[in-house]
Amino acid sequence: MRYQSTRNGSLTATSLEAVLKGMASDGGLFLPSDIGKANFDWKCTLGADTRSIATSVMSALLPDFENMKELVEKAYLNKFETEDLTPVVKVGNHFVLELFRGPTSAFKDVALSMLPQLICAAKKQTGDTDTTLILTATSGDTGKAALEGFHDISGIRIIVFYPEGAVSAVQRLQMVTQVGDNVRVCAVRGNFDDAQTGVKKAFAVVREKDLLAGRNTSLSSANSINIGRLAPQLTYYFKAYSDLVASGAVAVGETVDFCVPTGNFGDILAGYFAKALGLPVGHLVCASNANNVLWDFLTTGTYNRKRPFLKTTSPSMDILVSSNLERMLFLACGDSEQVAGWMRDLNEKGSYTVTPSVLSKLKETFWAGYASDEAAAASIKKLWNEHNYLCDTHTAVAWNVAEQYQSATGSNRPMVVLSTASPYKFPTSVLSAITDGKNIPADEFEVMEKLTNLTGVPVPNGLSGLNRRPILHTDIIDPSDILDYVLK
């Protein structure tokens, strides 16, 4: 399978190159040009264990990697709380796919446990002896998961940029206490989009001016613009489906809907790839918080990033420029020139409008909705009171939108709600939701304790005791200084 840039069909790469480079040299994203034609027997995933599913799915998507099985074993062995990595739990009428059982308690662990293996393998296979410098912008969860995956791996250095004041206290402490000789964590004055745009610009300028020439260093990305981040995420769509079949909840071939709390459109795009590989997916429901730019786009066909950036209780979805949508646009229209034009408009004018035929193509698969902080809090409370299930704010957004979807469309297909973070990553919002905001301690670690005492749900290992670890990273810069920081 060949990869190509979303903005230029003649800029091609092997899957090894696509993973190593992170993004194409013209600013586009790498995409397998013929995913629908991949020769993949999705039924081989039924009844298989998670690591076997990961091996077969990633071999299909990243065919140039040798020894995928070994890479998968190394990535996941004994890293997650559960043997099957991503369990499915029945909650009320829906199924909750728990993606937060990894070392940093967010779904990013599924991909970021694997990405270092892919990058090291790609370097070895291509004879690349450069140091790989990973640049990552994070809205809170990617940063820690990437640090956890990449720290102390030889031949790799990593810098994580996070928006100052826009991540939870737990998320911040997870990052600034990170050990490892090859890691740097830096706060950026601004929001996530400022950090992400700064990092993308640094990439572009370094490439354009060859600024790392003679330093035996090349750049890559741990954000979901890297296809090596997306590929591992297909696994849990297949695994969830297999679990539903095994439990008798669906018959083989019956379509299932998935509702995905969405920010950068990476997780939900992995669902689209799974569907393209044959998995019987009905609708992919795109759930946003009050930053509802994707809902707007999927409703009207106009993507407009010129709007206030709102801080919500689901900060990992506080995004106005949703990178992976670019891949979906190409998949919907098949025309790289058109995609390049839309991205130019987005950059220069702040908005673009797709053709009616592209919009209707998107609507065949995607249904979009959004939930306010209040609506998400109400869902947390309801899930706790009615089903004794404690969920985080991002999962609550998805649950809320899944209910909107079912009442708006009357769909009675089985619904899998993706749960992307542990409630203990956002303990203040979660405790406030179930106690109506009464007597919430100011310190997030006291909140955690109160929450676990109240609910009996244990605090994940990686989060307890964080507040007693030494702070190792205190740098803070303006977005315009990201390039200098990287070069230094």
Ligand X SMILES: *Cc1c(COP(=O)(O)O)cnc(C)c1O
Question: Which one, 32 or 266, has the nearer CB to ligand X?
Answer: 266
- 61 three-class SS: helix
- DSSP state, residue 44: G
Q: Which of 36, 32, 70 is nearest to 52 (CA)?
A: 70
Identify the H or E element spanning 273. Answer: helix 266-276
Phi-psi region at 165: left, alpha or beta (left = phi > 0; alpha = psi -120 to 50): left
Q: Nearest distance from residue 373's CB to ligand X, in Å? A: 15
Q: How many CB atoms lie within 10 A of CB 150?
A: 25
Question: Which one, 121 or 380, has the nearer CB to ligand X?
Answer: 380
By CB under 6 A, name the binding residues for ligand X. Answer: 106, 108, 141, 224, 261-267, 316-317, 394, 420-421
Q: Nearest distance from residue 267's CB to ligand X, in Å? A: 4
Q: Which of 61, 64, 60 is nearest to 14 (CA)?
A: 64
Lookup result for tokens 């539903």: 244
Which among 108, 239, 275, 361 is annotated as catalytic? Answer: 108
Q: Nearest distance from residue 99's CB to ligand X, in Å? A: 9
d(C-alpha 379, C-alpha 461), whole Å: 26
For the chain, the helix, strand and coil percentages under 3-state DSSP, each to the nearest 5: 45, 15, 35
Question: Which one, 148 or 267, has the nearer CB to ligand X?
Answer: 267
- DSSP state, residue 421: B
Q: Nearest distance from residue 263's CB to ligand X, in Å? A: 3
Question: Which one, 182 or 292, has the nearer CB to ligand X?
Answer: 292
Please work out, in degrees rounded to the nearest 5, the angle formed at the alpha carbon of residue 187 by the alpha carbons of 182 and 191: 130
Q: Nearest distance from residue 169's CB to ligand X, in Å? A: 16
Q: Nearest distance from residue 50's CB to ligand X, in Å? A: 19
Instruction: Tell me the DSSP string of 35-55.
Output: GGG----GGGGTT--HHHHHH
Q: Which residues contact 468 (CB under 8 A, 6 or more apart)?
A: none
Question: Which one, 265 or 330, has the nearer CB to ligand X?
Answer: 265
Question: Which one, 303 or 485, has the nearer CB to ligand X?
Answer: 303
Lookup result for tokens 């769909």: 411
Catalytic status, residue 438: no
d(C-alpha 319, C-alpha 376), whole Å: 17
Positions marked active-site = 108
